[in-house]
Structure 1
């Protein structure tokens, strides 16, 4: 069997994600973030998908996506209806899924050349919970 190394033609690849951290290229992220094939916005100030308001989508929408993948953490959750409507009224698809599923889906869509933006909600680890 012949194996070929494929180099993506985009700058950011998600190597994995869960509810507390993500690996973008070789960088470990522990705070919520936004990623597009050619952009990475760190420290997105969202910590709970259920309280995601329309204003918090501004940096996502500024990247002019055709589809938004919303990584909601370790388990799937959904933003308020007004937040979903803000995307739909602009003709932008919004798909909510676990962070792991969003990471896999982002890589597939970016590899297809789609205008995809993924926004990941990460829960910061509490030092007390690690003790």
Structure 2
């Protein structure tokens, strides 16, 4: 797996340690796609980006308190999520930050080191 990331000692919760051909290495598992919250990481089987809906992010939206925003890793390249999804999350007071999945994994680590209360949905590369 490459590249590898060093865990920031101030970060709490799951940390993406590496990205490689099999997916994202988080703690003791490797996931082709994943959902991240400040307290958990779980494998995810997302639909195609253009079909992504609020229900597909249910574990992230169940956080209490709700996340400030959701980092959305859109795969190998950056793409825009469906407008209906963005509107649904904004109606809950949750922003969406879309970026390619590698950038999403790196951003997750930086923002969690700042103890930001965020969530991430990272699609396969």
TM-score range, shorter chain: 0.7 to 0.9
- Is there any run of 5+ residues in structure 1 with no aligned partner, and where? 124-131
Report 1:72-87 matches (<5 A). 72-87=74-89
Q: Please give the TM-score of this superposition, normalised by the length of structure 1.
A: 0.78
Say if 1:16 and 1:100, in contact at 8 Å, map to a contact too: no
Higher relative contact order, structure no. (Cα contacts within 8 Å, ≥ 6 residues apart): 1
Q: Which runs of 4+ in 1 moved over 6 A?
A: none
1:34 partnered with 2:35 = yes
32-41 or 97-106, which deviates more: 32-41
Larger Cα Rg: Structure 1 or Structure 2?
Answer: 1
Say if 2:71 and 2:119, in contact at 8 Å, map to a contact too: yes
Q: 1:50 to 1:18 in 2, by over 3 A?
A: farther
Q: Please give the TM-score of this superposition, normalised by the length of structure 2.
A: 0.81
Say if 1:65 and 1:116, in contact at 8 Å, map to a contact too: yes
Report 1:70-109 matches (<5 A). 70-109=72-111
| Structure 2 counterpart SS, 1:55 | helix
Q: CA RMSD in A?
A: 2.1
Q: Which residue of 1 aligns with 2:48?
A: 48
Equivalent residue for 1:116, pick from 111, 115, 118: 118
- Is there any run of 5+ residues in structure 2 with no aligned partner, and where? 1-6
Q: Distance in 1 between matches of 2:78 and 2:22?
A: 14
Say if 1:47 and 1:121, in contact at 8 Å, map to a contact too: no
Q: Distance in 1 between matches of 2:8 and 2:60?
A: 28
